């Protein structure tokens, strides 16, 4: 008995059923590992499946079952290693749970975010993990995703809706505590004139970090000099350009708490250009602990956020939410860890 010549049509349940002289329904039961089916027929079916090279059509199954086995992951910037590792973590945990990741990148544009969200939604993900673009607002996001899919926000808040009414879960870093730790560390090293450098004031993570900075300064009775609160885009380049702003007045700071590692690395460049040696003449800290931080010249004191683990955590939170759709919203704050390296030297004259 020869099997049919390999046609180029996709092989379906019907083909298998026909090949075994069984009904579609029985074969379906085998596929789902039902205990109802006889050992022997199961074996027969499984042989046929292998023989014909059957591949399960999850889309059709999901259509009928009104379920979904995919989760959308929408990121503002995949090229940033922090998010790339996060994505790897999400995918790993989702795959382990039998889900598949639908990827979407927004490139920090709120309008592309809209487009990406609605395109992904058409593929019917069970849920959405979103790291919002900079000026994305809750109204639009909620309108795009509708009332059906659970949403997990990562890393940034979403403006425009009272936190009480938010119908999403959230996973954020402990920005405030992290910045406080970094500031306390610099104070302990003997610094008294400390700047907060980088980030945009309308970004939630930036204002949280700044709050941690202020908290530590005030606890130590140190002045928070307004002239040393420097804003800049969270990129190396802009940070390097804005370095001069620190040294405008008569007294200059001896250290800076930077918004993140990218900014800190940029500030290092700017310092070098002014003839100041970071880690010797000027101390600084970052945030994120990206790979480059350990390799900088000098290596950068920073806050480790374990992005891969955050990704796995985000996936877990989403899976829990799918399992219990009606529990109240969760706000999860992930701990961060101060990693002390050579960039946080004592002040020169100390």
Cβ partners under 8 Å of residue 200, min gap 6: 134, 206, 231, 233, 234
Q: How far apart are CA 313 and CA 90, in angstroms?
A: 8
Establish if 63 lies at the interface with DNA (CB under 7 A). yes
Establish if 148 lies at the interface with a second copy (CB under 8 A). yes
Establish if 340 lies at the interface with DNA (CB under 7 A). no
Token digits for 207?
Answer: 């204002």
Establish if 64 lies at the interface with DNA (CB under 7 A). yes
Establish if 37 lies at the interface with DNA (CB under 7 A). yes
Please choose which of DNA, a second copy, none residue 6 contacts, taking the beta carbon within 5 to 8 angstroms, the exact cut-off set by kind.
Answer: a second copy
Query: Which ranges in 13-172 belong to alpha helices (H)?
Result: 13-20, 24-31, 39-52, 58-65, 81-96, 110-121, 138-145
Measured from the CB atom, the residue of 11 and 216 that comes closer to a second copy is: 11
Whether residue 286 contacts residue 264, with contact meaning beta carbons closer than 8 Å, is answered with yes
Whether residue 77 contacts residue 83, with contact meaning beta carbons closer than 8 Å, is answered with yes
Number of residues near DNA (by CB under 7 A): 28
Quick one: CA dihedral 185, 197, 347, 240, positive or negative? Answer: positive
Q: 199: which strand partners? A: 232
Establish if 8 lies at the interface with a second copy (CB under 8 A). yes
Residue recorded with tokens 């069984």? 22
Part of the chain binding a second copy (CB under 8 A), chosen from 68-76, 150-158, 190-198, 249-257: 68-76
Establish if 36 lies at the interface with DNA (CB under 7 A). yes
Residue in 3, 4, 32, 251 binding DNA, rule: CB under 7 A:
32
Measured from the CB atom, the residue of 83 and 282 that comes closer to a second copy is: 83
- Closest by Cα among 131, 161, 125, 126 to 143: 161
For the bound state, the minimum distance from the C-beta of residue 14 to DNA, rounded and expressed in Å, comes to: 6
* CA dist list (Å): 106 to 10, 78, 139, 312: 35, 9, 17, 21
Q: What is the DSSP string of 300-329?
A: PBEEE--HHHHHHHHHHHHHHHHHSTTSPP
Q: How far apart are CA 39 and CA 30, in angstroms?
A: 10
Residue in 222, 269, 334, 342 binding a second copy, rule: CB under 8 A:
269
Measured from the CB atom, the residue of 127 and 212 that comes closer to DNA is: 127
Q: How far apart are CA 152 and CA 20, in angstroms?
A: 45
Please choose which of a second copy, DNA, none residue 107 contacts, taking the beta carbon within 5 to 8 angstroms, the exact cut-off set by kind.
Answer: a second copy
CB atoms within 10 A of CB 29: 18
Please choose which of a second copy, DNA, none residue 29 contacts, taking the beta carbon within 5 to 8 angstroms, the exact cut-off set by kind.
Answer: DNA
Measured from the CB atom, the residue of 63 and 297 that comes closer to DNA is: 63
Whether residue 340 contacts residue 298, with contact meaning beta carbons closer than 8 Å, is answered with no
Part of the chain binding DNA (CB under 7 A), chosen from 21-29, 188-196, 218-226, 327-335: 21-29
For the bound state, the minimum distance from the C-beta of residue 339 to a second copy, rounded and expressed in Å, comes to: 17
Provide the binding-site residues for a second copy, judged by CB under 8 A. 6, 8, 10, 53, 55-60, 62-63, 66, 69-70, 73, 77-79, 81, 83-85, 87-88, 91-92, 95, 98, 100-105, 107, 115-116, 118-124, 146-148, 236, 265, 269, 291-292, 295-297, 308
Provide the binding-site residues for DNA, judged by CB under 7 A. 9-10, 12-14, 21-26, 28-29, 31-32, 36-39, 41, 56-57, 60-61, 63-66
């Amino acid at each position: 008995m020869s099997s049919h010549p390999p046609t180029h049509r996709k092989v379906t349940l019907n083909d298998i059923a026909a090949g075994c002289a069984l009904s579609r329904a029985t074969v379906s039961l085998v596929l789902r590992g039902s205990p109802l089916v006889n050992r022997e027929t199961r074996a027969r079916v499984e042989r046929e499946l292998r023989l014909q090279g059957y591949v399960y059509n999850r889309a059709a199954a999901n259509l009928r079952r009104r379920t979904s086995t995919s989760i959308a992951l929408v990121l503002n910037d995949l090229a940033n290693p922090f998010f790339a590792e996060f994505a790897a973590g999400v995918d790993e945990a989702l795959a382990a749970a039998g889900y598949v990741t639908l990827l979407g990148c927004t490139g920090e544009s709120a309008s592309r975010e809209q487009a990406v969200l609605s395109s992904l939604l058409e593929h019917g993900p069970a849920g959405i993990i979103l790291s919002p673009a900079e000026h994305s607002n809750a109204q639009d996001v909620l309108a795009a995703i509708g009332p059906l899919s659970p949403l997990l926000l990562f890393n940034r808040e979403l403006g425009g809706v009272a936190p009480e009414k938010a119908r999403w879960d959230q996973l954020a870093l402990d920005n405030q505590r992290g910045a406080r730790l970094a500031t306390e560390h610099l104070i302990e090293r003997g610094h008294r004139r400390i700047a907060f450098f980088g980030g945009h004031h309308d970004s939630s993570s930036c204002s949280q970090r700044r709050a941690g900075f202020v908290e530590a300064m005030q606890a130590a009775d140190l002045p928070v000099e307004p002239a040393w609160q420097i804003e800049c885009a969270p990129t190396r380049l802009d940070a390097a350009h804005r370095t001069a702003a620190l040294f405008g007045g008569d007294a200059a700071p001896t250290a800076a708490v930077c918004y993140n590692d990218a900014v800190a690395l940029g500030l290092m460049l700017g310092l070098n250009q002014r003839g100041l040696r970071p880690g010797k003449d000027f101390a600084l800290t970052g945030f994120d602990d990206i790979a480059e931080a350990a390799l900088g010249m000098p290596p950068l004191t920073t806050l480790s956020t374990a992005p891969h683990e955050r990704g796995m955590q985000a996936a877990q939170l989403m899976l829990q939410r799918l399992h219990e759709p009606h529990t109240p919203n969760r706000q999860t704050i992930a701990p961060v860890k101060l990693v002390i390296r050579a960039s946080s030297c004592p002040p020169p004259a100390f």
